[in-house]
C-alpha cells in the first residue's frame, strides 16, 4: 500500500525520518510553510526558508525515493507582524509559481486578530488568481469558531470549497467541514490535534469521502509515520482497504493535484536514486556512508509497517 503524507514539516526532521517513511510506504509528501518556533525578524529569513523547502528538501527527499512537494504562505502567527507580512506578500507570488508548489498554505487563524484576517484574505485572493488549492490551518484555541470563520471567509472571497483543505480537524469540526463541501484534513499528532484511535472512530462514522490523514510532523513531539500507523490500525479495526487507501493516499492526490504540479506518474515511474548526487555542493551522506545507487528508476512499492 502506498501513502502520501500531505502535511509534513521535513525541514525539522532528519534523513533517518525520510528513510523510515520510504520503508513504510510513503511515496510522496507535501511540506507546508509554517511557524519555526520563534518569530522571524526580517523578510530575508522568510525568503531563505521558502527557498529551502522548494529546493534542498525536494532534493533530500528524492535521495530516499520520496517525491517532495510544498505549499507556500505567510503563517497566521507571523501575520501579526505587519512589516514582515508586507514583505513576505511581495515575495509569495514568485515562490507560488515554482515547480513542486501545490498550494498556498498553511494560512488562516491563530488568535483570530484583524491582521490575521487581512493576510488570510490576501492569500486567498492570490490562490484564486493562480488557480492553486489552499491549505488552511485551523487555530488551536477556539477551534470550532475559528474553523467556521475560516470557511466563511473562503466563501466571502469566492474560493470554491473543493479547492480548500481545512486541516487539523477534530470531532467538533468535522461534520461542518464536510457538510460545507471542504476537504477535511486530520493531523495524527501525539497528545494533541488527533490520535490514531480517534481517527479510526471518525472513519467508522464518516467514511472516507473528502477526508485526508496527515502527520503534521515538525520540531515538536510528533511522528513522521503517523499516516502509515493510522492506516495499519484502521485496517486492523475493520475499515475497508479502499477507504484506507482513499484517506491515506487518493484524496490528497485529488485535492492537491488540482494545482497541476502533483501527478501519480511522479512516483510510479521515478528517477533512479543516486546518493552521490550533490545539491549546491552538498551531499546527504555523512561519515563515509556508502551511497544508495539504483541502476534504473524501477517502480517502488512500500509496505505497511509491522
Please report the pLDDT score of residue 296 as a whole number. 64
Buried-exposed string 92-131: b where 16+ CB fall within 10 A, e elsewhere:
beebbeeebbbbbbbbbbbebeeebbebbebbbebbbeee
Helix or strand run (H / E) with residue 232: helix 226-236
For the chain, domain boundaries: 3-268
- pTM equals 0.95
Cα 157 to Cα 153: distance, rounded to the nearest angstrom: 6
Question: What's the distance, Cα to Cα, between the start and end of the chain in Å?
Answer: 13
Helix or strand run (H / E) with residue 236: helix 226-236
Sequential pLDDT tens for the chain (306 residues): 999 999 999 999 999 999 999 999 999 999 999 999 999 989 999 999 999 999 999 999 999 999 999 999 999 999 999 999 999 999 999 999 999 999 999 999 999 999 999 999 999 999 999 999 999 999 988 999 999 999 999 999 999 999 999 999 999 999 999 999 999 999 998 776 688 999 999 999 999 999 999 999 999 999 999 999 999 999 999 999 999 999 999 999 999 999 999 999 999 988 889 999 999 999 999 877 899 998 665 545 444 444
Question: Are the CB atoms for 202 and 196 separated by under 8 Å?
Answer: no
Please report the pLDDT score of residue 191 as a whole number. 72
CATH class of this structure's domain 3-268: alpha beta
Please report the pLDDT score of residue 190 as a whole number. 79
Question: Which residue reads 475493520 in cell numbers?
Answer: 238
Phi, psi angles (nearest 5°) of residue 9: -90, 80
Cα 238 to Cα 249: distance, rounded to the nearest angstrom: 18
Count other C-beta atoms under 10 Å from residue 192's C-beta: 14
Amino acid at each position: 500500500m502506498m501513502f502520501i503524507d500531505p502535511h509534513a514539516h521535513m525541514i525539522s526532521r532528519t534523513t533517518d525520518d525520510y528513510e523510515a517513511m520510504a520503508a513504510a510506504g510513503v511515496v510522496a509528501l507535501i511540506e507546508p510553510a509554517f511557524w519555526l518556533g520563534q518569530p522571524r525578524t526580517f523578510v530575508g529569513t522568510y525568503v531563505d526558508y521558502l527557498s529551502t523547502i522548494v529546493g534542498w528538501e525536494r532534493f533530500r527527499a528524492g535521495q530516499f525515493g520520496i517525491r517532495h512537494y510544498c505549499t507556500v504562505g505567510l503563517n497566521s502567527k507571523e501575520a501579526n507582524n505587519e512589516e514582515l507580512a508586507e514583505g513576505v506578500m511581495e515575495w509569495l507570488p514568485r515562490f507560488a509559481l515554482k515547480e513542486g508548489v501545490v498550494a498556498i498554505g498553511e494560512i488562516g487563524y491563530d488568535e483570530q486578530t484583524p491582521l490575521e484576517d487581512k493576510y488570510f484574505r490576501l492569500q486567498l485572493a492570490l490562490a484564486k488568481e493562480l488557480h492553486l488549492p489552499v491549505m488552511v490551518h485551523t487555530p488551536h484555541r477556539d477551534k470550532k469558531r475559528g474553523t467556521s470563520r475560516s470557511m466563511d471567509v473562503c466563501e466571502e472571497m469566492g474560493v470554491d470549497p473543493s479547492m480548500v483543505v481545512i486541516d487539523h480537524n477534530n470531532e467538533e469540526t468535522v461534520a461542518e467541514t464536510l457538510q460545507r463541501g471542504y476537504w477535511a484534513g486530520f493531523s495524527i499528532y501525539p497528545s494533541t490535534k488527533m490520535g490514531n484511535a480517534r481517527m479510526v472512530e471518525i472513519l467508522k462514522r464518516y467514511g472516507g469521502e473528502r477526508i485526508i490523514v496527515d502527520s503534521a510532523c515538525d520540531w515538536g513531539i510528533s511522528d513522521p509515520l503517523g499516516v502509515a500507523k493510522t492506516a495499519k490500525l484502521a485496517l486492523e479495526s475493520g475499515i475497508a482497504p479502499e477507504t484506507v487507501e482513499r484517506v491515506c493516499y487518493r484524496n490528497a492526490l485529488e485535492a492537491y493535484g488540482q494545482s497541476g504540479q502533483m501527478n501519480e506518474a511522479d512516483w510510479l515511474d521515478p528517477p533512479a536514486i543516486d546518493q552521490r548526487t550533490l545539491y549546491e555542493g552538498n551531499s546527504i551522506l555523512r561519515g563515509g556512508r556508502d551511497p544508495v545507487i539504483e541502476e534504473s528508476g524501477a517502480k517502488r512499492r512500500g509496505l505497511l509497517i509491522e
